[in-house]
Amino acid sequence: MERQIFIYDTTLRDGTQREGISLSVDDKLKIAARLDEAGFHYIEGGYPGSNPKDVEFFSRIHELTLRHAKLVAFGSTRRPNAPTPDPNLTALTNVSTPCACIVGKSWLLHVDKVLGTTPEENLSMIADSVAYLKAAGREVIYDAEHFFDGYKDDPEYALATLRAAEKAGADWLVLCDTNGGALPNEVSAIVASVAEALPSARIGIHTHNDGELAVANTLAAVTAGARQVQGTINGYGERTGNANLCSIIPNLQLKMDLRCIDPDQLRHLTDLSHYVAEVANLVHDSHLPFVGASSFAHKAGLHVNAVLKNSRCYEHIPPELVGNRQRILVSELSGRSNVLVKAQEFGLDLSSQSVDVRHVLDTLKQLESEGFQFEAAEASFELLIRRLQPDYRPPFELVDLLVLVERRHGTGIVAEATVKIRVGETVYHTAAEGNGPVNALDAAIRKALLQFYPELANVHLVDYKVRVLDGNDGTGAVVRVSIETSNGKDRWGTVGSSANIIEASWLALADSLEYALLKSPRSAPVSIPYGTSVTRQ
């Protein structure tokens, strides 16, 4: 590889400015530890002068042993006409971090309208602040805020702000596209001009994604000479987000032959992406490049046929390089190859049963036309294939069900479900109440089946979603019910569809429990006398 690119993560500061994210101190410590394991060079921990949470974070950072990364405290230059140090700068030196990052103004619009000071005083603010931090023994990273807008407005003054920081001893000059509106050709040209004007400076890049160009602008800056890239995990950040390090790092390392982190660390990038989303209490975006579940998912039959012959046909990198995996999806767009691959994943060999494959495809497409969708319900699809095999016997069957919803005086709405379940030759009749009709149905089914399959006590629903497929039909519309179930170790998805939400729920619930029994080490039911009809209330 050619040159080293230094990775600067600001998830714990800029990333938390995303709407909907609020990290506790423990959350921030957990994420910092994982960023260090990922081999990042700088971790920006927050703004110690801004809030008690960040003060506590820096006071507890000794709980971590960082092996790769330098911890960075973030702040800004001193205030206009204030002494050096002012309280902001003092806060940066009161925390024991090896690095400090300060942001200063590069755009005369901000100098005049936001700071309300003169261009000369702004230059003094930058120089005084950098010099103070250097004298305190810190590595200083200077973030030139709104640099690209400032350069386009007045290139000489924008360069003067960088010269002030460099002369005062700044170790890095980071050019920021704070409004996120620059284009890659502009970024490339301006970074190249800075590199030519300040040949001894170490240049970094910090971009926002308002124009959906944060990653592209970062790569353009690196091509033009930047050696440090700033960004966040999953692109979290204010407004539409920051540059996504989960896309930047593999592009730099795998496409541009630049060294960022070790290849072994790169293979954990997908895990890191999911971990940060989980700690931030956000649903992981399955369509993120490189690390999303859909990044290497193939749905169309022609694509699947080609990718099975040579994955390079429809995959720009081997997914394993970033810790991801290839996925073959099934839908009405599927071909024979999709079904064969999924069957092999399920341990079923249909390669010599072309009639069965055709039958599976026809059944799949018919069900999808009725509202079923199997992309996120692979357990239901496996059951579909198995049920079409002549020797498959289901562990239970529904005989009857009745669901009542009643408004009772003094108690409000009450839901009750009654079911008859056949297991072998035994019919079990029981009822249960619940918090709504679907919950009552779930309780009644489990109450019946636990008599035969006690292992189902460990199986629980973890997600239940309903989607109306055609709102024009109003309350008579077909609905799709998607369920996610777990046994404490594994998770699986099932689906049901009907114009009746209770039937759709039953189909998805029954699949979730049947799949649990299919995967259970003990699949035989508890013995109950032949032909018994059991009633329980």
Least confident range from 23-37, 136-150, 482-496: namely 482-496
Give the burial string for 201-229 (b: 16+ CB within 10 Å, else e).
Answer: bbbbbbbbbbbebbbbbbbbbbebbbbbb
111 and 25 housed in the same domain: yes
How much is the average pLDDT of 302-313?
A: 71
Q: Is residue 432 part of a domain?
A: yes
Which of the listed residues 336, 364, 387 is the one where a domain comes to its end? Answer: 387
Q: Which amino acid would we find at residue 535? A: T
What pLDDT is stored for residue 328 in this prediction?
65
User: In this structure, are 148 and 180 located in the same domain?
Assistant: yes
What pLDDT is stored for residue 1 in this prediction? 43
Confidence of residue 209 (pLDDT cuts 50, 70, 90): very high
Counted domains in the chain: 3
56 pLDDT more than 50? yes
pLDDT for 351: 64
Q: Is 420 helix (H, G, I), strand (E, B) or coil?
A: strand
pLDDT for 151: 97
Q: Look at residue 533 and tell me whether its pLDDT is greater than 60.
A: no
Report which of residues 233 and 51 the model is more confident about: 233
pLDDT at 355: 47
The residue segments making up the domain with residue 418 are 397-535
Residues 81 and 178 in one domain: yes
Q: Is the peptide bond prior to 85 cis by the omega test (within 30 degrees of 0)? A: yes
Give the pLDDT confidence of 381-422 residue by residue, as tens digits.
888 888 888 788 888 998 998 999 888 777 778 889 999 999
Asked if 138 and 234 sit in the same domain, the reply is: yes
Residue 392 lies in a domain: no
Q: From the centroid of its chain, how far is CA 114?
A: 35
Strand-strand pairing, 203-207 and 228-231: parallel
CATH of the domain at 230: 3.20.20.70
Residue 312 pLDDT greater than 90, yes or no: no
Please identify, among 387, 411, 442, the residue that sits at the C-terminal boundary of a domain: 387
Q: Is the dihedral of CA 444, 450, 456, 460 positive or negative?
A: positive
pLDDT of 73: 96
What is the average pLDDT across 264-274? 93
Across 134-148, 224-238, 503-517, least confident range: 503-517
- Tell me the two tokens of residue 294: 């859909």
28 found inside a domain: yes
* Model confidence pTM above 0.75: no
Last residue of a domain, one of 339, 361, 387: 387
CATH number at residue 464: 3.30.160.270
* DSSP calls for 482-504: EEEEE-SS-EEEEEEEESSHHHH
Residue 428, classed as helix, strand or coil, is strand
Interval 329-355 mean pLDDT: 63
| Residue 537 pLDDT greater than 70, yes or no | no
| Mean pLDDT, residues 178-207 | 97
| Least confident among 195-199, 219-223, 342-346, 422-426 | 342-346
**With the C-alpha atoms ordered 23, 25, 31, 35, is the resulting torsion angle positive or negative?**
positive
Q: What is the pLDDT of residues 91-129, one digit of tens each?
A: 999 998 999 999 999 999 999 999 999 999 999 999 999
| Domain co-membership, 159 together with 228 | yes
At 193 the three-state DSSP class reads helix
Q: For residue 261, give Cα distances in angstroms to 37, 268, 505.
A: 10, 11, 47
Which helix (H) or strand (E) segment is 371 a member of?
Answer: none
**pLDDT class of 522 with cuts at 50, 70, 90:** low
Strands in 460-468's sheet, in edge-to-edge order, are 460-468, 479-486, 491-498
- Estimate to the nearest angstrom the gap between the alpha carbon of 158 and the chain centroid: 37
Give me the pLDDT at residue 525, please. 63
More confident residue, 309 or 523: 309
Q: Does residue 135 carry a pLDDT above 90?
A: yes
